Amino acid sequence: MKLAIITLSNFALSYAWQWNEGPFQNRLVGSSFGIPNQDATYDYVVIGGGTAGSAIAARLAEDGTASVALIEAGGFPWEDLGNQTEVPGYTWRFEAFANLSDTNPTVDWDLETAPQQNLGGRSIHYTAAKTFGGGSSLNDMGYHRVTKGTMNLWADLVGDDSYTWSKFLPFYKKSTTYTPIDSVPDESVNFDYHKPGPLQVSYPPHRQPTNPFLSRAFEKLGFGKMLGNNGGLLNGYAYWTYYQDPEAHTRSSAATAYLGQALKHNHGQGLHLYPRTQAQKIVIEGGKTRAVIAQTAGSNYTITASREIILSAGFIHSPQILMLSGIGPASTLRKQGIEVVVDLPGVGSNWQDQPYVFTLLETDAETDSAIITDPARLERARRQYIESRSGPLTSPGFDLVGWEKFPPSYRSRLSPQALALLDSFPSDWPDVEFIGAGLAAGNPADPTNNRLFALVAGLLVHDSVGNISLTSGDIRDPPVLNMNLLTTTTDRELAVAAVRRVLQLADSTGIVTNKLNPTDALIGSDIQLLEWINENVVFGYHGSSTCKMGKQGDRSAVVDSKARVYGLEGLRVVDASVLPFCVPGHPSATIFALAEKIARDIHCSYQICSVTGGGDHDEL
């Protein structure tokens, strides 16, 4: 078998083999695609083929009774970037972070924030996927669930106990199939489910050489060892689970899992994909959404929904499309000459994301950074992967993650305002996340250094809130992204504490010989350290809440607990934009589960189903 970075001529070719054998051998490949520039009608139209959009479209089409159009502005990741999105060890190639020139325009919207005054006027690149599978096709592949208290808070805020941990957990389970391996504690108890889900969750066979040292550091600082990150508790340290095929050791994503499964089996006959097609606006008549104006190759046409439209364009583009369709803050719409259909002030507001800081360290042992800094090592790793699906390319480059609330020695130095903010979150909500990354590079003084290691601190408690607004009434003009990162005094204070803690973790590993960024000279005082943070902080790229879910009467809410847009019939929003808050850690597992839940809610709107679940629409 050979591994090559190639570009397929189109998505259909990549799946042709599946339809040339077995019971589907007579099915035409092109039957899975809509015809561009030709008006069409479907039961459901889904705008956005990302994590949530691909999952919900596949579920709505799976019983073969409904027709579904899935519109995606991008193409297919393997078509645009060959195997770079499929091989776990290549994930670092998509981590543009603060580098405005390091983007992948075929799969990324190439957006940047407005200048952040509190960060010295910096604009930060915001990675936003433009490809089938969305973020699940490009991100670091880490899968974890939130805490029990997180989901119970969600249920309280939206007035719906179906979001409590015990009732939401089955949707987490429904989306996945878990495969344990011998070298990591078996977490099957957290994935037990009566049938396999589309998303493969497992571990790479390769272990980071820094794991023993990082484990020792966690334990030295009082972190307990957890079974895993999926039982509703995030307090301690554990091995990551990844959405990764346990045999091929390739990425499992919304595109490969949900769409791949849908297109391979009979239920995909009702699903039509519209790649490289952008939704221009939603057509609304008499208080009901009727159709989507779509554009492919510069030509507009109409895709009508006889039942519902599901907007899953992501936390940036979902509010943009709503506003361009006349749904949003009346003052913003009138400023752009857009007729106000529904005045919803919450559209585009409440943008929440997590500040992350990367520290770069030099160690006294070789790390997996060698596959980035040493071409010969990368070639050896490629041969390992090709010949035996082993070696560092089977891993996204980080194994261990730690979660904690600041210990007493840190809390004692915090202001009353910072303590009040920390205490306003659920008791099991972690304050900080720590990640050890062996795939690290970036020492300009010695670009061939293969002893590099990154420790990452993510601040999971914060109160800075941003917004997204229109620059014009044209979908082609990117919206204004005003994050307001670290704008509050408490956020800045907590960011300093988080970096102090991660540097303490680094010192506790016993292998760090040199701090490359920040250097010791930059961390002498909190003022110096904050200055370094302002120059280096980036997002977690976990943006959320710009169309937030909330109770009737909450003027900041955009959708109800079933993701239905207030003031309209036939329109739902299902993606990270509807989260009532930015969940602790990485949201993709929760987005998959949310898509499963809302798909069940939609099915229940049109057919009989039980009140307790959503397996094949009527049971979990």
Catalytically active residues are 542, 586
Q: 522 and 532 in contact (C-beta within 8 Å)? A: yes
The single-letter code of the amino acid at 285 is: E
Please name the residue ranges forming H helices in 481-552: 489-508, 526-536
Instruction: Identify the burial level of 307 via C-beta atoms within 10 angstroms of its C-beta, where 0-12 means exposed, 13-18 middle and 19 or more buried.
Output: middle
DSSP for 7-52? --S-HHHHHGGGGSSGGGTTS-GGGGB--TTS-EEEEEEEE--SHH
Instruction: Identify the burial level of 551 via C-beta atoms within 10 angstroms of its C-beta, where 0-12 means exposed, 13-18 middle and 19 or more buried.
Output: middle
For the chain, give percent helix, strand, coil, nearest 5.
35, 20, 45
For the chain, the first-to-last Cα distance in angstroms comes to: 40
Q: How many helices (H) and strands (E) does the chain have?
A: 17, 24
C-alpha Rg value of the chain to the nearest Å: 23
What's phi and psi for 177, nearest 5 deg? -125, 120
Pairing of strands 480-482, 327-328: unpaired
Rounded distance, CA 76 to CA 73, Å? 10
Query: Of 76, 144, 161, whose CA–CA distance to 585 is shortest?
Result: 144
Instruction: Identify the burial level of 36 via C-beta atoms within 10 angstroms of its C-beta, where 0-12 means exposed, 13-18 middle and 19 or more buried.
Output: middle
Rounded distance, CA 250 to CA 334, Å? 48
